[in-house]
Chain A
Amino acid sequence: MSSPATPRPNQPWLPKLVLAPSFLLSFLFIYGLIAWNGYLSLSASRLLPNYEFVGVEQYVNLFDSERWWVALTNLGIFGTLFIGCGMALGLFLAILLDQKIRAEGALRTIYLYPMALSFIVTGTAWKWILNPGLGIENVVRQWGFENFTFDWLINPERAIYTVVIAGVWQSSGFVMALFLAGLRGIDDSIIKAAQVDGASLPRIYWRIIIPSLRPVFFSTLLVLAHIAIKSFDLVIALTNGGPGFATDVPATFMYSMAFSRGQIGLGAASATVMLATIAAIVVPYLYSELRTKR
């Protein structure tokens, strides 16, 4: 009564009513489909979904499959290197760009530009660049270094690293932009105070600036991690999972089982495992990060 300025909703059901359709839709199309996929992974579905219950048989088959293990290993290699190198390179570029240099705007645009391309374009371009008969190897050999070899793309043990190269090339500019924004948000007076105290520049970065970028690390990690786990188009465009199935990742495994091999049940099982993996990494992290904010 004493605060008439606070608007009181005289129709308490209105917000609920307005929110209901979108809530219902997202509930149905996110959690509903997750549940459906979960059920399919326990069914005998082959070419089309069917609902004959077979228990965990599809999961047993999944973890028996060598190709699935290759896909998981690749995800481990790709995820670690893609996130690690992407962040390190992005931060490094951001720190260099933050030195109040000339033509910063132009450089920033150049670094950021790869993000404007889709992974399909990146993959196709790198496929040409890394192809031993067309790209880098050929060029260096034409310069006269006859024995130069750079054939990772066609080497089943190295091919996954070419995916990392292309992925890092694509995303490090974007990471740089995020870090640069973070760097610009730091209060100058702290740095000046540190300088007055006689701290060297690397020391200032290491002890003051980088720790204060913690929220930026957090959001970058989240963005890169989900790109890594769902990475599909880059692999398809760059290597198509090959040579053989050496660069398969869980996403491409899932696609080929569910859609071209007629094993929807197996594909659904792999999708469930992917979801569980993401949840296992992201949920505790989100929890710890968001709780400290309070």
Chain B
Amino acid sequence: MSTSNLVVRRLAGALAAAGLMGATAAQAGEVEVLHWWTSGGEAKAATALKGKLLALGHTWRDFAVAGGGGDSAMTVLKSRVVSGNAPAAAQIKGPSIQEWAREGVLAPIDDVAKANNWDTLLPKSIADGLKYKGSYVAAPVNVHRVNWLWANPAVFQKAGVKVPTTWDEFFTAAEALKKAGVIPVAHGGQNWQDFTTFEAVALGVGGTDFYKKALVQLDQGTLKSATMEKVLATFKKVKDYTDRNAAGRDWNLATAMVINGQAGMQIMGDWAKGEFLAAGKVPGKDFVCSPAPGTGKAYTYNVDSFAMFKLKNDANVKAQKDLAAAIMSPEFQEVFNLNKGSIPVRLNMDLAKFDDCAKQSSADFVASSKSGALLPSIAHGMAAPSAAEGAIKDAVSQFWNTDKMTPKEAMDRIASAAKQK
């Protein structure tokens, strides 16, 4: 309720500003933005950006393609780019930004970045991901923490256990929840969700250095180590606590199971919070957000960003630069992230309006960026090139689904998948 009111107020403000600025915006261009924020909270977040651009006198063309992972959107984007009709900006993130830039279709936006001090506002590891050959080619909108555990405290109370902070506690709690007659872990059996769980286990069991070596640097020795075997065994054990209907379930349906008490907990990034909030739940009271077991001191991030494409029309280029500036502006970062469930990517923001989960996320973000435990999420396309990431995801998902496969076999498959280029 409160967030939607806020959006209305912001929009009203934005429209008033548009009236005032009509005279100054002599070169009004059109921005076409490709994104796949079509679910409830996400769509609201996109509206906030639109308001911002309208306020600057530009026209906004929405190019939303449904489908959570964005596969279908990418297909449409490719055909548009090949036919020479690229949108102004598209939701592209992680190493894919470099892959697109290598094709020579992205436009540098260094002037915007310099004018707005992006280099000082962003943690270096994130800023580097937005650059190609030293030039910014994408603007970040948010930081999602991926290593979260969402729990329903009422269910935990009924089972008489605490929300787990280590993997041992996790399995004790899961056993108790099972006895209490609820599904311990809400899971959606789609390969990226399997992979999200795997990543959390890898970080929790193996630790920061292991994660970096194995899943970011794709080091063969680490991928075939005893730690990896332990990670895989733990990962597989989680499956025993999911239900049999998980096959193909969407993540938000799994979240709904935690919301209505059908399930106890879910390992999922902080976009799940949007679902809790949309259902009118209060953080800390109706649901608990806690770092995934064993990962309290680390932070796997998923930074959504918009890559800027080369455009022909000057007015549209102007609009595109305004879009990039608007994306990094404190007001947009606040409104957008309040709706999306994520936190602002700018480091020095006032978080007064944010909830406790976001405040914790932000504190951990800053702390881990200092301690070197700020890690890109491989499950969300931040760590590895798409071919290797896809092949590893296949291997992990196959291990999750094939009961006969041993962790050793899975390890070999993952290691050979990591060699893909």
Contact = CB atoms under 8 A, between A and B. Distances in A.
B248 interface: yes
A240 B190 contact: yes
A131 B397 contact: no
A66 B398 CA distance: 11
A175 interface: no
Interface string A34-74: 00000000000011111000000000000000110000000
Interface string A234-261: 0000011011111000000000100111
A36 B394 CA distance: 29
Contacts of A156: 398, 401-402
Contacts, number: 85
Interface string B394-409: 1001101110000000
B248 A242 contact: yes
A49 B244 contact: no
Contact of B248 (A47, A127, A246): A127
A48 B244 contact: no
| Among B78, B81, B102, residue most surrounded by chain A Cβ atoms (within 10 Å) | B78
A262 interface: yes
Nearest to B390: A261
B71 A259 contact: yes
Given A47-B78, A154-B189, A244 B247 contact: no
A109 B209 CA distance: 65
Contacts of A239: 247-248
A113 B105 CA distance: 49
A46 B78 CA distance: 11
B104 to A, nearest CB: 9
Contacts of A49: 82
A47 B390 contact: no
B240 interface: no
Contacts of B402: 156, 244, 246
Contacts of A154: 189, 244, 246-247, 401
A263 B387 contact: yes
Contacts of A261: 386-387, 390
Contacts of B110: none
A25 B387 CA distance: 35
A243 B401 contact: yes
Contacts of B175: none
B75 interface: yes
B245 A67 contact: no
Interface of A: 46-50, 66-67, 127, 131-134, 151, 153-154, 156, 239-240, 242-246, 256, 259-263
Q: List the 6 closest A-B pairs by CB distance, nearest first.
A: A133-B245, A243-B401, A244-B398, A244-B401, A260-B71, A244-B397
Interface of B: 69, 71, 74-75, 78, 81-82, 96, 99-100, 102-103, 105, 189-191, 243-248, 386-387, 390, 394, 397-398, 400-402, 413
14 contacts: A48-B105, A127-B248, A132-B244, A132-B245, A133-B244, A134-B245, A151-B244, A154-B246, A154-B401, A156-B401, A239-B247, A242-B247, A244-B400, A259-B75
Given A131-B245, A260-B75, 4 more contacts: A49-B82, A154-B246, A242-B248, A260-B390
